[in-house]
Chains A and B, each alone.
Chain A
């Protein structure tokens, strides 16, 4: 009889914090600068330079810790993790080993199987490394240190997850909490959120954990799900063949859907951690903690409750809108201007979601402003444009975030409310389509739809369909 296996998964999640400057120097963290333009002696590890801790990093780390039910280490320190690699100019990474800032937390996840707590072992602060680009032409590597020293928190879970579904639910929960806090935008594709997956398998019911591997290079939820499935099968196959799983780091290749053992960075994982003598300890007072706790934002559960009381929109809409901080902010800001929650919600739920899906974008990538969405809603309300035109304008706005009022004016998209002009077109359409007119008189009500369509076409879509309908009926009943 085939053995049954259980998958055991723990995650190490790195999150780039949304500070303006690096963790230990006043260099900008802005993404996309020309190579090495955001560097200084501190973040390139020059001898004699002295790191000074960015206070905002500590506050973000505490805020995330509080939101994930961690206890905060009120006396904490930084340690040096020693290794040689060209992306690490100091030859050590400043991190926290002995006294991480947050410990023993948990988050609740929900999957088809129900609700479950995933425990957080610790959260620590550390610095990011530079970026290596491989130059095939010269057969060398090129290093850009702009990212070196960008602040990270690493959130280490306990091995509490049992499926890809749980892993994704956990990541989505973390991402939402951190986005609500404004501590990071958590974009997997851009690397501001990165997950390493520790996975082992064991026979169902076994008490001991199997040997685990660590998988890196997972930059989308889909890649994570595929990598988990691939690695689970690989490990089970090994065990079934009577072989052993080797504890190693593997790199997932999402194109080939297979993971490869990474050649170790020149031997042993011997990091020889020791306290960083350049950085003094951090003492987090009760007052400081209380202040951060008081400033925690409204989280999703509270927001959902408030939406239900404040706006008359369906629960389903509330669920979707509050599932993205950016969407929720956009919704609230737009409603504040145009005072029409139902209509704002409709634009977000229908057209926005459709375009996001078509263009493979996340709600965080939405570019249009609440001001412009509000203007578009008011334009439709005042019947200045009809709903078909509104959708066209919205599509352009979704891409370019232009002012819809100016756009409608410039492109001449305003609805023609001049009854005389409209009547003339209607008369022409009726004259040109005798068959439809006859059908209508023979009781085919549907024929009027065709005539409305023809009129709208002749008016290049810029007519109020209700008015066209009314005029047509008047004319046909004569």
Chain B
């Protein structure tokens, strides 16, 4: 494995992904990530000079909808996904301002 992931990197990625990793999981994640980066290095061996970066697989563009209201009150369904509910709203831990 050519790529070695540092403890700092894995901690930082953990914060960004909101994951609380145990020491064992961190070691495993470091290995997995190293292998992924090795694979990217492999891909980078290809000469892509003059090749446009691709973001979409299908040659489709301009998929639009008209500006017409088609949805009604779906709050009952929406609120089912709330961890806790109060006054029709999602109740979450207090956010810092």
A and B associate: yes
| Beta-carbon contacts under 8 Å, A179-201 to B | none
Q: Of all chain A residues, which has the CB nearest B18?
A: A84
Q: Which residues of B contact A25 (CB under 8 A)?
A: 71
Q: State A20–B67 Cα separation when bound (angstroms).
A: 6
- A322 CB–B CB distance under 8 Å: no
Q: State A142–B88 Cα separation when bound (angstroms).
A: 9
> If A280-B61, A280-B62, A283-B61 touch, does A44 touch B15 (CB 8 Å cutoff)?
no
Q: State A145–B90 Cα separation when bound (angstroms).
A: 9
Looking at B66, B68, B73, B89, the one whose CB has the most chain A CB atoms below 10 A away is: B89
Cβ contact within 8 Å between B93 and A35 = no
- A263 CB–B CB distance under 8 Å: yes
- B46 CB–A CB distance under 8 Å: no
- B2 CB–A CB distance under 8 Å: no
Cβ contact within 8 Å between B64 and A53 = yes
Cβ contact within 8 Å between A44 and B92 = no
- A286 CB–B CB distance under 8 Å: no
- B42 CB–A CB distance under 8 Å: no
From A20, A36, A40, give the contact of B89 (CB < 8 A).
A36
> If A46-B81, A141-B93 touch, does A275 touch B87 (CB 8 Å cutoff)?
no
> If A27-B71, A28-B69, A277-B55 touch, does A282 touch B89 (CB 8 Å cutoff)?
no
Q: Of all chain A residues, which has the CB nearest B54?
A: A275
State how many angstroms separate the Cβ of A321 from the closest Cβ of chain B: 30
- B97 CB–A CB distance under 8 Å: yes
Q: Which range contains the number of B residues in contact with the other chain?
A: 35 or more
Cβ contact within 8 Å between B95 and A85 = yes
Q: Which residues of B contact A46 (CB under 8 A)?
A: 81
| Beta-carbon contacts under 8 Å, A256-276 to B | 262-263, 265-268, 270, 272, 275
| Beta-carbon contacts under 8 Å, A23-81 to B | 25-28, 34-40, 44, 46, 52-56, 58, 77
Q: Which residues of B contact A19 (CB under 8 A)?
A: 67
> If A55-B64, A281-B55 touch, does A142 touch B78 (CB 8 Å cutoff)?
no
Q: State A281–B58 Cα separation when bound (angstroms).
A: 10
- A251 CB–B CB distance under 8 Å: yes
- A432 CB–B CB distance under 8 Å: no
- B96 CB–A CB distance under 8 Å: yes
Q: State A267–B16 Cα separation when bound (angstroms).
A: 8
State how many angstroms separate the Cβ of A53 from the closest Cβ of chain B: 5
Cβ contact within 8 Å between A26 and B91 = no
- A309 CB–B CB distance under 8 Å: no
Q: State A272–B13 Cα separation when bound (angstroms).
A: 11
Cβ contact within 8 Å between A272 and B68 = no
Cβ contact within 8 Å between B94 and A140 = yes
Binds B, one of A130-138, A408-416, A440-448: A130-138
State how many angstroms separate the Cβ of A130 from the closest Cβ of chain B: 8
Cβ contact within 8 Å between A56 and B89 = no
- B70 CB–A CB distance under 8 Å: yes
Secondary structure of the B contact surface, majority rule: loop
State how many angstroms separate the Cβ of A119 from the closest Cβ of chain B: 28
Q: Which residues of A contact B66 (CB under 8 A)?
A: 54-56
Q: Which residues of A contact B62 (CB under 8 A)?
A: 280, 282-283
| Beta-carbon contacts under 8 Å, A118-155 to B | 132-135, 138-145
Q: Which range contains the number of A residues in contact with the other chain?
A: 35 or more
Cβ contact within 8 Å between A281 and B61 = yes
Looking at B66, B71, B91, the one whose CB has the most chain A CB atoms below 10 A away is: B71
From B60, B81, B86, B88, give the contact of A135 (CB < 8 A).
B86
Q: Which residues of A contact B18 (CB under 8 A)?
A: 84
- A345 CB–B CB distance under 8 Å: no
Q: Which residues of A contact B58 (CB under 8 A)?
A: 280
State how many angstroms separate the Cβ of A150 from the closest Cβ of chain B: 12
Q: Which residues of B contact A283 (CB under 8 A)?
A: 61-62
> If A141-B92, A143-B92 touch, does A54 touch B60 (CB 8 Å cutoff)?
no
Cβ contact within 8 Å between A145 and B93 = no
- B63 CB–A CB distance under 8 Å: yes
Q: Of all chain B residues, which has the CB nearest A133?
A: B89
Q: Of all chain B residues, which has the CB nearest A86?
A: B92
- B74 CB–A CB distance under 8 Å: yes
- A455 CB–B CB distance under 8 Å: no
From B63, B78, B93, give the contact of A36 (CB < 8 A).
B78
Q: Which residues of A contact B86 (CB under 8 A)?
A: 135, 138, 140, 142
Q: Which residues of B contact A138 (CB under 8 A)?
A: 86, 91
Q: Which residues of B contact A77 (CB under 8 A)?
A: 55
> If A35-B89, A135-B86, A281-B56 touch, does A26 touch B70 (CB 8 Å cutoff)?
yes
Q: Which residues of B contact A44 (CB under 8 A)?
A: 78, 81
Q: State A46–B64 Cα separation when bound (angstroms).
A: 20
Q: State A208–B95 Cα separation when bound (angstroms).
A: 37
State how many angstroms separate the Cβ of A295 from the closest Cβ of chain B: 15
Q: Which residues of A contact B16 (CB under 8 A)?
A: 82, 267-268, 270, 272
Which 8 A-B pairs have CB atoms at the shortest separation, nearest pair first?
A26-B70, A275-B55, A55-B64, A142-B89, A56-B67, A143-B90, A35-B88, A36-B75
A–B pairs, 11, beta carbons within 8 Å: A21-B67, A26-B70, A28-B71, A36-B90, A38-B73, A52-B64, A53-B65, A135-B86, A142-B89, A280-B58, A281-B55
Known contacts A21-B65, A52-B64; can you find 6 more A-B pairs with CB under 8 A?
A27-B71, A28-B71, A77-B55, A82-B16, A141-B91, A267-B16
